[in-house]
Structure 1
Amino acid sequence: MGDMYAVELSLDLRATMPSAVVDELEWHLGTATGTGAGRAEGTADVPAEELAGPDDVFPLLAERGPAARIGGLLVGELHRTDCGWALTARQEVHAECLSDLGPVLEQLARHSSTEGVIGQIRFYEDHVPELLINESGILVRMSLKADGIGAGPAYMPV
């Protein structure tokens, strides 16, 4: 038995998203052209608390190729569009990294132009995911299980 979660994201991000947030997201996707130095320092546009902290030691959305536990492929793409950015990611995330992923997901919801479902997360052995929902810039997690059992970590409001 493993401690892996399947995380899937599909959302649009506003053109007004600060460049520091774009840089941070590119770093997590493994597509940053720079070194990532100063990721957590913040700027005048984006305070440091909006960026992943210094404990974030590796990119969380950077894996590519066949998935080890969840089947299918691991992907992570961020593309510039006429209206901002389009993001799609499908990753295996270890349970120990969920607390690092939470602030990234909250930041994405804050800058998303997509209202409603922006992704899902599920323990790899479960059949039913929890939805990640953007409600006016606030990330909300909704369990699809009738009894609510299996609700994930407390890093996102319910």
Structure 2
Amino acid sequence: MSDLYAVDLALDLSPTAPDAVLAHLRRHLEADTADDDSDEVDWPDFVPLLADRGPAWRIGGLLTGELVQGADHWSLTARQEIHAELLPDLFALAEMLAFNARTDGVIGQVRFYEDEVPELLVSRSGTLVKMPLRAADPKTSRHLP
């Protein structure tokens, strides 16, 4: 058994997101940060959380991470497998993203790879809210026509 989590992030960053936030996010998206000139090079334990690409090992599909500049904001989409010991770092990154999100609402989800139901990551007025979901009870749930 593995301690992997499926992580999906999809959000637009505020046009006022500081350059330091964008630089930090770019570091998480880069697989090789050894030649980086940023101040974060001094962080010996830094692990880029959004840098894996290609086939996923446990969750199926592809691992990806893109930060693209739009007309007046930045858009982030990422899908990754994260080990359990990196979850505190992931949630710290998600807090930064929620604080700098362009709009309120769902910015991502985290799910233990063997589970079917994720925990939503929601930005509410710049604060990260983790919203656990639960499977519907088949006896009481309504089926769509």
Above 0.5 in TM-score?
Answer: yes
Aligned length: 135
Aligned alpha-carbon RMSD (Å): 2.2
Q: Distance in 2 between matches of 1:10 and 1:94?
A: 20
Secondary structure (helix, strand or coil) at the match of 1:97 reads: helix
Change (3 A) 1:101 1:40: farther
Q: Which amino acid aligns with 1:35?
A: D
Q: Distance in 2 between matches of 1:15 and 1:27?
A: 19
1:144 pairs with one of 112, 130, 133: 133
Residue number in structure 2 paired with 1:127? 116
Q: Which amino acid aligns with 1:6?
A: A
Residue number in structure 1 paired with 2:94? 105
How big is the shift at 1:32?
8.5
Q: TM-score, normalised by structure 2?
A: 0.86
Q: Distance in 1 between matches of 2:127 and 2:28?
A: 21
Q: Is the 8 A contact 2:121 2:130 kept in 1?
A: yes
How big is the shift at 1:141?
0.6
Secondary structure (helix, strand or coil) at the match of 2:46 reads: coil
1:78 matches 2:67? yes
Following TM superposition, where does structure 1 have runs of at least 4 consecutive aligned residues deviating by more than 4 angstroms?
31-34
Residue number in structure 2 paired with 1:28? 28
Q: Which amino acid aligns with 1:13?
A: L
How big is the shift at 1:12?
0.2
Q: Distance in 1 between matches of 2:56 and 2:11?
A: 21
Change (3 A) 1:55 1:110: farther
Q: Distance in 2 between matches of 1:109 and 1:56?
A: 23
Pick which of 24-33 and 54-63 moved more.
24-33
Q: Distance in 1 between matches of 2:37 and 2:30?
A: 10
1:87 matches 2:76? yes
Identity of aligned residues (%): 55
- The structure having more radius of gyration, on CA atoms, is 2
Change (3 A) 1:63 1:31: closer
Change (3 A) 1:79 1:108: same
